[in-house]
Every structure is written in C-alpha cells, then in structure tokens.
C-alpha cells in the first residue's frame, strides 16, 4: 500500500494531519455560520487578512507573527461588525453589505500596503493554492521532538473551537434559532454573535497561513451544509460536519497523490483536492440523504405511487367480480364456480384506462401482485386469489366507509368518491372500525353498494 | 512567521485581485495631469474607457442580483468560471483547437459559470439550505476545482506560455485595446438582454409569485440574471481582477437603491455610479502613479456608496431619520391638542357646562400619557410657534381659536375611529382609546367621510361625538363623581 502511494510518514503524515486539523477546526464554527444564514461571512472575514496585516504593520512597524496575527483577526472582526452596522442603519440586504465591506476593506488594505511596500520576493503559488505541501518544512522543537509549526497552531485553534462550541452550546443553539428568546433568556444574542465572529476570524487567519484561502472558506460552509441535509439535530449536525470535514481531508490528500499519476502529471494542489472532495461529499448528501436527498425523495415518490397503483388494481378486479361483468365484454364472471376476472387485450385496455396508467406500468403492477400471491395470470386472464380478494375487500371496505363518513359529515356527493379514493390507501383496521361505528349505516355506502365486512374473506387459519 | 508577510506580498503583487491597469505615465505631476485630462495617451484612453464601460455594465446587472437578494452571486460565479478556463485549456487540443486561444478560454469560462448558476439553483431547491449556503458552496467548491486544475495546467510548458495566470489573475501589465473592445461588446449585449426582458425581470425582482402566475418560468429568469453576471465577470475578470469585479457588481446597485424606488431609475443611477467610479478611479490612479487602479476604483465606488447611504433621497439615513422625526413630532402635536381639548371638555361637563375652562396645566398634560417633560415642553413650544396654543398669565396652556378648531378635528377623528372599533370590530370599550391612538394620525379624509356616514347618520356631519369610554384626566383628579357617559354608541 505504502509503496503504491509513495507514502512517507514524515511528509505525507504531516500534510494529512494539517489538512484534517484545518478542516475540522473550520467546520465547527461553520455550522453556526450556515444556520445563521451568514455563510459568506467566512469568505469575507478571510479576505480581511490583507488589510489587517497592512494596518498592523503600518501601525507597529513590526513583522513579528503575533502582531500581524492580531491585526488580521481584528480586521476580520471589523468586517463582521461593519457588515452588521451597514445592514442595520442602511437597511441593506445582508449579502450586499457583506460585499460592500469586504471589497472596500480589501482595497483599502491594498492601498495601504502599496504605500509601505518594499518588494519582498515570494513564491506566488504558495498562498492561494495552499501551502499545505510545505507544512512539513517548518518545525519547532518541543520537549525534544520536532513538531511542524502550522500543525501546532492549528491544533490550538481546533482546541479553542471545540471549547467554544462545547461551553457555549446552549447559547449558540438558542441565539442561532431564536435571537429574541436568547435575549429574554438573559444573555445578549449579539454578544454570542461577536464571540462567534472572533472564533471565525482566528480560524480563518490561522488556516490562511497554513493552507491558503480556499480550504478554510470551503470547510466553513460545505461540511456543515452537507450535515444539515442529513440531520436536523444541532449536536448531531456538528459531529457529522466534523466527520465529513475529516473524511474530505483524507480523501483529498489521497486523491492528490493518486490522481496526477493516472493523468500523467507531476502533482496537483492538495488543498484544491480536499475542497473538491468536500464538494463530492455534499453532492452525495444532496442526492442520497434519507430525509432531504433528491434521489431518495424521488424513489420514495415512485414507490408510493406504485403501491397505490398495485392496490387500485386489486380493488378494481374486486369491483369487477362484484359487478359480474366488464363493459364491452372484455371480461366475464362465472359466478357458479366462483371464478371471475379480466381477459384479453380488451380487458387490458379497460384496466389501463380505469387506472390511468400505461400498459407497461400495469404489467409491472400485475407482476408485483402476482409475486405477492394476490393475483394469478392464467394465459390472458387475470384473477384474484383468495388472499388478493381479502386485501381488495378491505380496500373497498375502507373506500366505502370513508364515503359514508364523508357523506354524514356533509361533504357533497360529487366529492366523496375522490376524497375516499385518496384516503383508502392510508386506512388501518382500527381506523376502519372506528369509521364503522361513526357512520349511520355500516352496511351500505351512499351509492348503494354493499360495504364488505372486516372478516368477509378472512382466510381460516390452518389448524 | 514570515508566512503572513508572504501572504500580504503575494496578494499585492499577484493575486486574485488587482492588477495595475495602466503603466504610469512619465513626467512631472503637472505634465501627467494635463496629458491625462487631454487624453493624450492612447493607453490612458483605453483604460479609462474600459473601466467606465465595465462599471456601467456591472452596475446595470448588479441591480437585478441585488433586488433578487442575491447580491453576492457575482462573488460565487466569478469564482465558478475558473475551472472552465482550466478545462478548456486542457481539453481544447483534443478537439483540435489551440488551448491558449482567448475565445476558447472564454467559452470554457462561460460554460462553467453557467454550470455554477445551475448548481446554485439546485442547492437552493434542497430543503433547509438557504441562498447564502448555495452561493458559498458553489464559490468554494468551484474555486477549489479551478485551483486544482490550474496546478496541473501550469506543469505543461504550453500552459505557462499561454499565460493562464494572466487570464485569471491578470498579473500582466495593462488593459489592452482588445480588452476594452470586448468589454464594450459585452456591455452592449448585457444592456440589450436587459432591455428585451425588462418587464419579466421587473416582475421577477418585485413579485415572484405574480410572475409565475403570468406564466414566466422563475428558474429560467433566475438563470438569465445569473448568465448576465457570468457574461460580465468572464470579460471583466481578466481585465480587472476578482475583487474589483465583485465590488462593481455589488456596490453601485446597493448605492442606487438609496435614491429611488423605481427600477429603471435605479438602473440609470447604478450604471452611472459604476461608470463614474470606473472613470474617476482610472483617472486618479493615472495621476498618482503609486495608487493601484483597481483599488482606487473600489474606493471611489464605496465613497459614492457611503454618500448615498447618508444622503439618498428615498432610503438614505438622513432622509429616513428626518421622516421619522417629522412623523413623531406630528403625532405629539396631535396628542397635545387633543389632550388639552379633552381636559377642557371633561371640566365643562363636570361643572355643568357653565365654566369655560380653556386652559390645561402642564402637570395635567404630563400625566396624560408617557411623554417626558422635555418632549412635552418642546412640543408646546412648537405648537405655540404655530399659533395653536399660548401660555396664559397663570402659566397654563390654552388653545387659541385655531387651536380649538384643529383640536376639534382631531378629537372628531379619534372618536369616530373608537366608535368604529366598538361597533364594527368588537374591540372592548376599555381598549379602544389605545387602539385608536395608533391609527388616528393616518386617517384619510375619504375614510373619515365614510366613517361619518357609517356611524353618525343622525348627527350633523362634523359634530364631535361624545367619547364612548370613561375619560381619564380631569375627572380622575377631581374624583370620579361624574357618571360615565360611555357605552352610548
């Protein structure tokens, strides 16, 4: 395995660790950004790094990391505060005020920095594309072991974010969903918001240096959004988002090793691949989430309409049996030996017309019911079996009970059939019995047809 | 931690974000200024014209994204064009085209930008995720994909030669005449598309439901708006860079919104602000050689934004606070006049309609409602300046003849509304006073006429009906001896 990947722990292990730390650290506060519908503040805050550094340098003329770090964080916070301020006093759209603030601050930072510029050489690729690949190079010595510096920083940030989420869980929860309630609960939703912004700014700045701008902005938004598609519980959403972030980081790193070799290139951006993997996770969640997925929803709808079609088929066959004939002679009933059904092409057309479905769907429904033992197909003829007759009689019973009930409730005679047609598919035995006691005449429906009894076709238990 | 310094330098020199639009013009400041003002230099002409047209076009398009509450869609879509450029470069040779061909790259950008727009609509249709998440996801994932592709592209020597970096980040020297021409064509195309679809786009922005009922397809219209954004960004991106593109799409429209409530006026103003800031910014940076032009354009733009925020005629901060103050002063004035009148009325009734008491003491008025001493004082001062009240020798506040007339009109309105609430809206008599308080200031003359017709058929129009509820004020101070005259409606 390690041979195939050309894997070295000193190198790949560190990149992987840094990527995971960055991804998980960003996804934790990202949950609340997504829930508060301010996802793009993460992007805006990470753009504030430039004016922050510029201002910090111009004010202090110091190049020490700590000063620049604080400057960048303060600028990030300023972005959030100004955005809110302009939104409130100008009653501007949140997105618009974000756009105004971060582009303006960025431009201001640029002008500042040009004034103070002394051109320093640098490698253009390293920041934007993410310098993750360089993370093993810089190390610090702690208790006798060499530890990569950015990994250490990011571990600290992750710890901070974890503490923040755990300690302020209730406050974050309430102020995200109901700021008014938070205020009546005795703490300021605004204060919680600014604490969150501080955490976001610190995360953005720390990750910016380690992994470039793309990875952190993506991890603020994409894993929490995927998690939100999978669950509606906040605690579960947070764990899921952290998990998705970590998985994306791992998958991203492996694909960054494997993919270029398949395509015949030297290398590919690790941070970019991690982002892409997060996007893939989101796509999977969007398609297959049990509650919100597009495909799962489609499958659910198709299954439901197929179930209804199958049930309607049985009920229709039951009614044909009951009536003893089919218009146009397509089917016939032979009451003497208890056999009736639908025959031939004409019978088929009749069924398809009554059930409003294509012939192909009808064959599918027939096949399903045959598989369940509710239907037999003898040559061109379709007949109900005993168990099919029982299922159908209960459906018809539900239908006619509903019609009686709706009629006693004053629903017009023209509308009872259509409503009963829907309700019959969702009616259990208990509900049928309650309807039975609720209607005036439990034997005959408003159209004069007999309502089957609950035990009309009960199959006697095999002794 | 040299990392930060690198970040900063990198952002300055290359990024993503800005490039010097024009090489500095040589010579002394004065020479530069005069040559600039006369547009002597071909380069300056090109740059100023290009920046202006770009500002104009994005100002127009930005209006629709702003009104659609999707202001940052430009941010997302300009990032989304990136992977298309990389892919076009990689795949074009397979189809027999030159990967460095500009039109091929533009086509790639357009395709992936449109894919980004579709992705936004798709994510928007998922439950629980809102606009901001849709934009954020498209922005970051497409950008990530683009960066990954670019690292691949740059490894081929052809990729480097084609200068894809320049295409995306625009790191090379200046806007060329070709750029400017392309911008002009695009701007014209965008304006044409807007003009052709003006009615449907207006409906989309202001009444989505009605537009759908009229048979317009909302997703299709949304796609049209986003396609306009893609069109502008893919041209503008290579000419001026990412941040400036976002700024031009967001800020002029947001600024124009302060000035007007009408869409076509907003379009004009927004285009004007965009064009003006492009023009001024490009000029300024040509005059002061060390100002990066992109940044100056953004700053000019936001200066205009803040001016509009303050001074805007329709929604500006000053206008709105002035309007609020005027309204609350008008309400206070009406409360004052009605307060004096009602105190006077209850005094007259209490003493058997003989004593003509026309004045009310300051303390009495103060206790009528929850206004502060200073607010009441200011109001009295204003009313006496208008000649509605005057201070008599005992220091009490008295209505003038005009004041009495005005007060009678107000009391009339108030009581009509109270009566209406009791007889037609089933509001309890003890609560009507407060409910009527909220509405009496905005009753229109037509409404008063209808209320009179409805409620007072036996009375002469204009006559003041008695209050339907127990009065506070004077009686409560003297002791409520008088029988309540309420409930007679």
Convert the pLDDT of each residue in B266-309 to its tens digit: 999 999 999 999 999 888 877 776 777 788 899 999 999 999 99
Give the minimum alpha-carbon distance from A431 to chain B in angstroms, rounded to a whole number. 32
Phi and psi torsions of B126, nearest 5°:
-75, 150
Nearest CA in chain A to B11: A50
Q: Is residue A334's pLDDT more than 60?
A: no
Q: Is the CB of B147 less than 8 angstroms away from the CB of A271?
A: yes
For residue B400, list its beta bridge partners: none
Mean pLDDT, rounded, for B54-83: 93
Residue B196 maps to which CATH number? 1.10.3470.10
State the pLDDT at residue B162: 54
What pLDDT score does A212 carry? 75
What SS3 state is found at A141? strand
Q: Count CA within 13 A, CB hemisphere, residue A2.
A: 7
User: What pLDDT does residue B239 have?
Assistant: 74
Q: The domain that contains B383 carries what CATH number?
A: 1.10.10.10
**What was the pLDDT predicted at A244?**
97
The answer to whether residue A289 is domain-embedded is no
Contact A221 B133 (CB under 8 A): yes
Decide if pLDDT at B113 tops 90. yes
Q: Identify whether residues A393 and A334 lie together within a single domain.
A: no
Tell whether B3 is covered by a domain: no
* pLDDT on residue A376: 86
> How many Å apart are CA A36 and CA A458, to the nearest integer?
57
**Residue A99 contacts B, CB cutoff 8 Å:** yes
* Res B123: pLDDT: 95
Q: Which residue has the higher pLDDT, A405 or A328?
A: A405
B141/A39 touch (CB, cutoff 8 Å), yes or no: no
CB contact under 8 A, B140 and A130: no
Q: B145 and A269 in contact by Cβ < 8 A? A: no
Tell me if chain A has a CB within 8 Å of the CB of B229.
Answer: no
The whole-number pLDDT of residue B367 equals 81
How many C-beta neighbours within 10 Å does residue A160 have? 18
Final residue of a domain: which of B243, B273, B305?
B243
Highest mean pLDDT among B38-52, B108-122, B372-386: B108-122
Judge if A146 and A78 occupy the same domain: yes
> Is residue B444 predicted with pLDDT exceeding 50?
yes
Name the band, by pLDDT with cuts 50, 70 and 90, for residue B472.
Answer: low
Instruction: Examine residue A177 and state whether it is found in any structural domain, yes or no.
Output: yes
Contacts of B7 in chain A (CB under 8 A): 49-50, 53, 127, 208-209
Cα A121 to Cα A62, B18, B86, B170, B172, distances in angstroms: 18, 18, 27, 19, 17
In a domain, B294, yes or no: no
Say if residues B311 and B253 touch (Cβ distance below 8 Å). Answer: no
- Partner-chain contact A119 B292, CB within 8 Å: no
Burial of A288 (0-12, 13-18, 19+ CB in 10 A): middle
What was the pLDDT predicted at A167? 93
Identify the pLDDT of residue A305.
93
CA dist., res. A295 & res. B393, Å (int): 85
Q: Percent of chain B, pLDDT > 90?
A: 34
Out of A384, A401, A431, pick the residue that ends a domain: A384
Q: Work out the minimum CA distance from A169 to partner chain B, whole angstroms.
A: 21
Residue B321 CB burial class (10 angstroms; 0-12, 13-18, ≥19) = exposed
Chain B residue whose CA is closest to A40: B136
- State the average pLDDT for chain B: 80
| Domain count along chain A | 3
Confidence of residue B58 (pLDDT cuts 50, 70, 90): very high
Nearest CA in chain A to B303: A104
Residue A184 exposed, middle or buried by CB count within 10 Å (0-12, 13-18, 19+): exposed
Do residues B85 and B187 both lie within one domain? yes
Q: Which CATH number does the domain housing residue A437 bear?
A: 1.10.60.10
CB contact under 8 A, A92 and B12: no
B4 and A68: CB-CB below 8 Å?
yes
Q: How far apart are CA A369 and CA A381, in angstroms?
A: 14
Same domain, B232 and B343: no
Q: Do B140 and A43 touch (CB under 8 A)?
A: yes
User: Do B332 and B237 belong together in one domain?
Assistant: no
Closest CA to B166 of B316, B322, B302, B15: B15
The yes-or-no verdict on residue A249 having pLDDT over 60 is yes
pLDDT of the residue at B175: 72
pLDDT exceeds 80 at position B100: no
Average pLDDT over residues B211-217: 91
Identify the closest residue of chain B to A255 by CA–CA distance: B148
Q: What mean pLDDT do residues A437-444 have?
A: 79
pLDDT(B25) > 60: no
Q: In chain A, pLDDT over 90 holds for what percent of residues?
A: 40
Who among B5, B127, B309 is closest to A292 (CB)?
Answer: B127
Nearest CA in chain A to B307: A90
B296 interface with A at CB cutoff 8 Å: yes
Over residues B310-328, mean pLDDT: 91
Looking at the fold, whether B206 and B332 belong to one and the same domain comes out as no
How confident is the model at residue B31, as a pLDDT? 67
Same domain (yes/no): B216, B362: no
pLDDT of the residue at B39: 63
- Nearest CB among B154, B249, B295 relative to A107 is that of B295
Contact criterion met (CB below 8 Å) for B338 and B344:
no
Domain limits for position A380 = 309-384
Please report which confidence band the pLDDT of residue A261 belongs to, taking 50, 70 and 90 as the band edges.
confident
Chain B: closest CA distance from residue A424 (Å): 29
Q: What local confidence, expressed as pLDDT, does residue B422 receive?
A: 79
Which token pair is B351? Answer: 């003493």
pLDDT band at A142 (very low <50, low <70, confident <90, very high): low
Q: Note the pLDDT of residue B173.
A: 36
Residue of chain B with shortest Cα separation from A48: B8
Whether this model's ipTM surpasses 0.90 comes out as no
Inter-chain residue contact B13 with A119, CB threshold 8 Å: yes
Q: B263 touching A, CB under 8 A?
A: no
Contacts of B128 in chain A (CB under 8 A): 228-229, 232, 292
Q: Do B72 and A99 touch (CB under 8 A)?
A: yes
Place of tokens 């965008």: B190
Interface contact flag, B295 A86, Cβ < 8 Å: no
A107-121, B175-189, B205-219: least confident range: A107-121
Number of domains in chain B: 2
What is the residue-averaged pLDDT of chain A? Answer: 84
Q: Is the pLDDT of residue B14 over 80?
A: no
Q: What range defines the domain where residue B160 resides? A: 15-24+43-243
Chain A's closest residue to B281, CA to CA, is A107
Q: Which A residues, 195 through 254, put their C-beta within 8 Å of a C-beta on chain B?
A: 208-209, 214-215, 217-218, 220-222, 225, 228-229, 232
The residues pairing with A381 across neighbouring beta strands, listed in sequence order, are A343, A378
Considering the domain architecture, whether residues A17 and A163 belong to the same structural domain is answered as yes
Domain end among B243, B259, B288: B243
By C-alpha distance, which of B180, B112, B169, B174 is closest to B142? B112
Residue of A nearest to B321 (CA): A89
Tell me, what's the pLDDT at B389? 85
How do B389-391 and A381-384 pair as beta strands? unpaired
Of A94, A124, A294, Cβ closest to residue B10: A124
Q: Among residues B189, B208, B243, which one ends one of the domains? A: B243
What pLDDT is stored for residue B303 in this prediction? 95
Q: CA quadruple B217, B220, B222, B225: dihedral positive or negative?
A: negative
Task: Examine the domain organization and report whether A358 and A455 are in the same domain.
Answer: no
B389: β partners: B399
State the DSSP code for A132: G
Q: Please tell me the distance from the alpha carbon of residue B239 to that of residue B172, in angstroms, as a whole number.
A: 10
CB contact under 8 A, B140 and A275: yes
Residues of B in contact with A120 (CB under 8 A): 5-6, 9
Q: Which range is least confidently modeled, A3-12, A57-66, B312-321? A: A3-12
* Residue A239 within any structural domain of the chain: no
CB contact (8 A) between residue B257 and residue A92? yes
In a domain, A25, yes or no: yes
Contact call for B141 and A278, based on CB within 8 A = yes
Structure tokens, A367: 């096949």
Residue A445, sorted as left (phi over 0), alpha (psi -120 to 50) or beta, turns out to be beta
Cα A256 from Cα A248, distance rounded (Å): 12
pLDDT at B161 exceeding the cut of 60: no
| Of B100 and B314, the one with more pLDDT | B314
The verdict on residue A288 lying in a domain is: no
pTM of the complete model = 0.83
Contact A63, A56 (CB under 8 A): no
Q: What chain A residue is nearest to B73 in terms of C-alpha separation? A: A95
pLDDT single digits (tens) A306-322: 999 999 999 988 888 88
A76 within some domain? yes
Same domain flag for B206 and B78: yes
Give the pair of three-digit tokens for residue B259: 């000035």
Query: Does B4 reach chain A within 8 Å, measured CB to CB?
Result: yes
């Amino acid at each position: 395995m390690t041979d195939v990947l050309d894997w070295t722990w000193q190198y790949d292990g560190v990149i992987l660790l840094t990527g995971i730390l960055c991804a998980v650290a960003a996804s934790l506060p990202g949950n609340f950004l997504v829930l508060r519908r301010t996802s793009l503040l993460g992007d805006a805050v990470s753009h504030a790094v430039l004016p922050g550094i510029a201002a910090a340098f111009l004010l202090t003329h110091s190049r020490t990391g700590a000063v620049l770090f604080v400057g960048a964080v303060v600028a990030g916070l300023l972005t959030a505060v100004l955005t809110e301020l302009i939104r409130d006093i100008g009653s501007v759209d949140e997105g618009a005020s974000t756009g105004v603030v971060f582009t303006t601050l960025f431009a201001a930072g640029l002008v500042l920095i040009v004034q103070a510029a002394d051109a320093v050489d640098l490698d253009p690729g390293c920041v934007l594309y993410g310098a993750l690949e360089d993370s093993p190079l810089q190390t610090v010595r702690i208790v006798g072991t060499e530890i990569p510096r950015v990994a250490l920083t990011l571990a600290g940030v992750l710890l901070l974010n974890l503490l923040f989420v755990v300690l302020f869980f209730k406050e974050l929860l309430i102020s995200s969903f109901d700021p008014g309630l938070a205020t009546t609960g005795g703490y300021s939703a605004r204060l919680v918001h600014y604490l969150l912004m501080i955490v976001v700014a610190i995360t953005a700045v720390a990750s910016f240096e380690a992994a470039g701008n793309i990875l952190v902005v993506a991890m603020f938004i994409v894993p929490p959004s995927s998690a939100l598609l999978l669950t509606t519980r906040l605690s579960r959403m947070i764990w899921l988002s952290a998990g998705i972030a970590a998985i994306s980081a791992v998958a991203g790193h492996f694909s960054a090793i494997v993919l270029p070799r398949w395509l015949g290139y030297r290398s590919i951006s690790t941070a970019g691949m991690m982002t892409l993997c997060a996007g893939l996770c989101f796509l999977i969640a969007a398609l297959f989430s049990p509650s919100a997925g597009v495909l799962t929803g489609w499958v659910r709808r198709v299954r439901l309409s197929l179930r209804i079609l199958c049930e309607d088929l049985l009920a229709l066959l039951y009614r044909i049996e009951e009536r003893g004939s089919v218009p146009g002679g397509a089917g016939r009933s032979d009451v003497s030996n208890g056999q009736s059904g639908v025959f031939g092409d004409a019978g088929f057309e009749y069924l398809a017309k009554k059930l409003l479905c294509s012939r192909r769907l009808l064959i599918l429904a027939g096949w399903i019911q045959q598989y369940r033992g509710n239907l037999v197909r003898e040559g061109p003829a379709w007949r109900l079996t005993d168990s099919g007759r029982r299922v159908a009689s209960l459906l018809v019973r539900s239908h006619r009970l509903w019609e009686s009930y709706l009629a006693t409730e004053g629903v017009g005679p023209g509308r009872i059939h259509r409503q009963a047609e829907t309700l019959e598919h969702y009616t259990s035995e208990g509900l049928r019995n309650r309807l039975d006691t609720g209607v005036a005449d439990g034997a005959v429906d408003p159209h004069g047809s007999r309502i089957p009894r609950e035990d009309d076709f009960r199959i006697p238990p095999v002794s | 931690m040299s990392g930060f310094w690198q970040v900063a330098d990198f952002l300055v020199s290359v990024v993503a974000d800005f490039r010097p639009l024009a090489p500095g013009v040589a010579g002394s400041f004065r020479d530069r200024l005069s040559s600039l003002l006369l547009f002597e230099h071909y380069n300056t002409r090109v740059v100023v014209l290009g920046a202006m047209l770009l500002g104009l076009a994005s100002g127009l398009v930005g209006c629709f994204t702003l009104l659609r509450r999707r202001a940052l869609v430009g941010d997302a879509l300009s990032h989304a064009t990136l992977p298309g450029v990389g892919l076009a470069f990689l795949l074009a040779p397979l189809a027999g085209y030159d990967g460095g061909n500009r039109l091929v790259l533009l086509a790639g950008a357009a395709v992936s930008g449109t894919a980004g727009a579709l992705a936004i609509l798709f994510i928007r249709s998922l439950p629980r995720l809102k606009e901001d998440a849709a934009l954020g996801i498209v922005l970051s994932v497409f950008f990530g994909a683009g960066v990954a592709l670019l690292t691949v592209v740059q490894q081929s020597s052809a990729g480097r030669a084609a200068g894809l970096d320049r295409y995306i980040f625009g790191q090379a020297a200046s806007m060329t005449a070709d750029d400017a021409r392309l911008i002009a064509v695009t701007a014209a195309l965008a304006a044409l598309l807007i003009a052709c679809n003006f009615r449907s786009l207006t409906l989309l922005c202001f009444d989505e439901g009605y537009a759908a009922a009229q048979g317009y397809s909302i997703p299709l219209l949304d796609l049209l708006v986003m396609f306009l954004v893609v069109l502008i960004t893919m041209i503008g991106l290579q000419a001026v860079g990412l941040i400036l593109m976002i700024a031009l799409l967001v800020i002029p429209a947001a600024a124009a919104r302060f000035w007007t409530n009408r869409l076509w006026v907003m379009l004009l103003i927004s285009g004007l602000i965009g064009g003006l800031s492009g023009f001024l910014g490009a000029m300024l940076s040509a005059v002061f050689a060390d100002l990066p032009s992109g940044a100056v354009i953004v700053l000019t733009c936001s200066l205009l934004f803040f001016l509009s925020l303050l001074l805007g005629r329709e929604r500006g901060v000053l206008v709105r606070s002035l309007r609020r103050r005027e309204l609350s002063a008008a309400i206070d004035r009406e409360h004052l006049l009605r307060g004096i009148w009602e105190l006077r009325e209850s005094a007259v009734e209490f003493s058997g309609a003989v004593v003509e008491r026309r004045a009310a003491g300051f303390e009495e008025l103060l206790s009528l409602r929850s206004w502060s001493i200073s607010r009441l004082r200011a109001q009295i001062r204003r009313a006496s300046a208008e000649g509605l009240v005057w201070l008599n020798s005992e220091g009490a506040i008295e209505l003038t003849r005009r004041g009495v007339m005005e007060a009678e009109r107000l009391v009339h309105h108030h009581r009509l509304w109270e009566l209406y609430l009791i007889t037609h809206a089933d509001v309890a008599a003890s609560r009507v006073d407060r409910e009527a308080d909220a509405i009496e200031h905005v009753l229109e003359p037509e409404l008063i006429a209808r209320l009179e017709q409805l409620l007072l058929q036996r009375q002469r129009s204009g006559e003041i009906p008695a209050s339907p509820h127990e009065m506070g004020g004077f009686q409560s101070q003297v002791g409520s001896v008088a029988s309540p005259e309420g409930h007679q409606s």
